[in-house]
Structure 1
Amino acid sequence: MLTDFLLRIALAGALGGLIGIERQLRAKEAGLRTHILVGIGSAMFMIVSKYGFADILMQTHVSFDPSRVAAQVVSGMGFLGAGTIIIQKQIVKGLTTAAGLWVTAAIGLVIGSGLYEIGIYGAFMTLIVLEVFRQISNHWVGHHHLIEIRLLPESVPAVLVALQKMRIRPGHIKINQRDEDESKCELILDVILRPKQSVDKLYEALMSVKGIKRIDIN
């Protein structure tokens, strides 16, 4: 049993590492080490939950539910996942990484309980969703970008006209007045570029607008 337990912990960490590699290649908040630790930790919690209380349960007049340990892993992952979610310029980021951590914990629990096939299947399904479906989404739906522009206030309408000519409709628009220099402001745009629309062309179109001092496209 000891060898089997060690194998479960190692396999859970390895499967979590596969997901972590994909996230780290995308420069996300939680990467390789975080996902490995989540997989190892959840597998250990599951082993303790399933086998760690066997000696106590054999005693008379003792009755409790050891599966509550595994249940607390699910709720506890909410706090860890929340740490990867950030709000930047009123745009929420990190939801996919948080969901990946949550699934990694589930994989660790499944492997810890001895259901190897289910855990391996879940890990590869997660990788398919993160990588293959990302490419499908970018190809058919488009890619999300956050644009931050420092410009003169009177140049804001010209920026919106330039986007309209490119058939780009911002999903979110915010204008911040810079306190240190009232003659300049910051324009924040949340846009989705379709497959045929490139970042280079967007940058050229915006830079052609007079009054723009700086453009950051994320």
Structure 2
Amino acid sequence: MNTAILQAEQFGIGTILLRLCLALLCGGIIGLERAKKHQSAGFRTYMLVCLGSTLTMLLGQYEYYLTHIAGSGSADVSRLGAQVINGIGFIATGTILVTDRQEVKGLTTAAALWASACMGLAIGVGFYECVAVGILLIFLCIHVLPFFENRISENSRYMNLYIGFQSVEDVRTIAKYMKSQNWKIYGIDIEKGNKNTKGRFQAAFSIKLPEKQPHSQVVAMLYELDSVSTITVI
């Protein structure tokens, strides 16, 4: 009887309201940074993903309550939660794209969506300690760590450059200049010009610098070449 009372309390209006509101809050916190950067999955998307995950876990718990406590039968509480983890992949995949500059975008957004779904599952079962630590670490990854990531990548010896030029012969000029600076080239992918590039050729260069050097300085050096029209660090 005590077990039945305890289970029934899990579905009181106060508990349900707390968990659903907490899901909206946590999803909003995660999605706020993505919304500021005008990502495809923004503020409302994260709130809905987290809310939906919470509702799923509440539904799983309620199904367990009905079959094991209030009636007969069997139900697996984790079954619906597992489907959320699998299903969120379809939404997350839609945020990942490869640009015409061979640059992959949306991975952080997809990972944050997946984390938001997991956060909703934790809220749905009332694992508040996990929620508190999880939201803190996710917030740290999204808002604080990019500063350190940019510092590390800016001073890395490896660079991927997307360079625009007028003719395919300019590739030799650019490559010759890079070698004169002792920059090791370990990959060149040339693309023919089209209407979007106004007839310019473009190529992705993967290079390794002989020593740590600010990437902005490398870009400035390449812009001194007459054959170079555009440069994008990818």
1:17 aligns to what? 28
Contact 1:8-1:43 at 8 Å conserved across structures? yes
- Deviation, structure 1 residue 124: 1.0
1:125 aligns to what? 137
| Separation in structure 2 between the aligned mates of residue 22 and residue 162 of structure 1, nearest angstrom | 40
- Deviation, structure 1 residue 168: 5.8
1:103 aligns to what? 115
1:177 aligns with 2:192: yes
- Deviation, structure 1 residue 203: 4.2
| Separation in structure 2 between the aligned mates of residue 170 and residue 130 of structure 1, nearest angstrom | 33
Could you tell which deviates more after superposition, 93-102 or 153-162?
Answer: 153-162
TM-score by length of 2: 0.76
Could you tell which deviates more after superposition, 185-194 or 73-82?
Answer: 185-194
| Separation in structure 1 between the aligned mates of residue 60 and residue 75 of structure 2, nearest angstrom | 11
- Deviation, structure 1 residue 165: 6.2
SS of residue in 2 equivalent to 1:187:
strand
| Separation in structure 2 between the aligned mates of residue 189 and residue 25 of structure 1, nearest angstrom | 31
Contact 2:49-2:113 at 8 Å conserved across structures? yes
- Deviation, structure 1 residue 21: 1.4
| Residue of 34, 54, 68 corresponding to 1:43 | 54
Structure 1, gaps ≥5 residues long:
none
1:6 aligns with 2:21: no
| Residue of 222, 225, 231 corresponding to 1:206 | 222
| Separation in structure 2 between the aligned mates of residue 196 and residue 141 of structure 1, nearest angstrom | 11
Matching residue's letter, 2:226: K
Contact 1:152-1:212 at 8 Å conserved across structures? no
Q: 1:68 to 1:133 in 2, by over 3 A?
A: same
1:186 aligns with 2:202: yes
Structure with the larger RCO, 1 or 2 (CA within 8 Å, 6+ apart): 1
Q: 1:191 to 1:109 in 2, by over 3 A?
A: farther
- Deviation, structure 1 residue 197: 1.5
Q: 1:140 to 1:176 in 2, by over 3 A?
A: closer
Larger radius of gyration: 2
Contact 2:64-2:76 at 8 Å conserved across structures? no
Q: 1:126 to 1:190 in 2, by over 3 A?
A: farther
Percentage of matched positions with identical amino acids:
30
| Separation in structure 2 between the aligned mates of residue 119 and residue 10 of structure 1, nearest angstrom | 13
Q: 1:124 to 1:207 in 2, by over 3 A?
A: same
Matching residue's letter, 2:40: E
Structure 2, gaps ≥5 residues long:
1-11
TM-score by length of 1: 0.81
1:134 aligns with 2:157: no
| Separation in structure 2 between the aligned mates of residue 138 and residue 5 of structure 1, nearest angstrom | 41
1:155 aligns to what? 170
